[in-house]
Amino acid sequence: MRPETIRLAEDQRFEIRASTIIGAGKGLFARIELPAGDKLEVFGPRIAADSVEDTCTSFADTHKFRLGDQLIVPFGLAGMANHSTHPNVGKCILGDRVYLEMLRPILAGEELFLEYVPRARIFFEKCVP
């Protein structure tokens, strides 16, 4: 018997397509209107900060989400939000879970932007809108 495929990262409210930021690749977009306060959970493996696992996943450093002394390496939709100095989503921690929270109402078709931490921003300065 084949194991069941788990798709925790699927959420029909969102889609991935070419970013509106030149050179940024793909971005995360709202498929429907989303109210302020709506959330998208950040899924991915949790690793200890400054661990061997952290070093071995350094290719994803600009996308990791910190949760106390742990880091989440996102593999779902939330990891596709690009950087902006005018974000429309923010990081929200509820208990032991991390979310992207809509900071204001989001229109259908609008790209979602998160303000990256300073360490991550240096990699994307040429792409910032």
Domains in the chain, please, with CATH? Answer: 14-44+77-127 (2.170.270.10)
pLDDT at position 117 is 58
Q: What are phi and psi of 79, to 5 degrees?
A: -70, -5
Q: Which of 2-6, 26-30, 110-114 has the lowest mean pLDDT?
A: 2-6
pLDDT tens profile 41-87? 998 899 999 999 999 988 888 778 888 899 988 888 998 998 888 99
**Is 15's pLDDT higher than 50?**
yes
Is the full-model pTM beyond 0.75?
A: yes
**For residue 94, which of 46, 40, 54, 47 has the smallest C-alpha distance?**
40
Please compute the mean of the pLDDT values over residues 80-102 and round it to a whole number.
91
Judging by DSSP bridges, how do beta strands 14-18 and 82-83 pair with one another?
unpaired
Contacts (Cβ under 8 Å, ≥6 apart) of 2: none
Amino acid found at 22: I
| Helix or strand run (H / E) with residue 56 | helix 52-56
Confidence band (pLDDT; 50, 70, 90) for 111?
very high
pLDDT at position 59 is 82
Amino acid found at 33: E
Q: Which of 1-5, 28-32, 33-37 has the lowest mean pLDDT?
A: 1-5
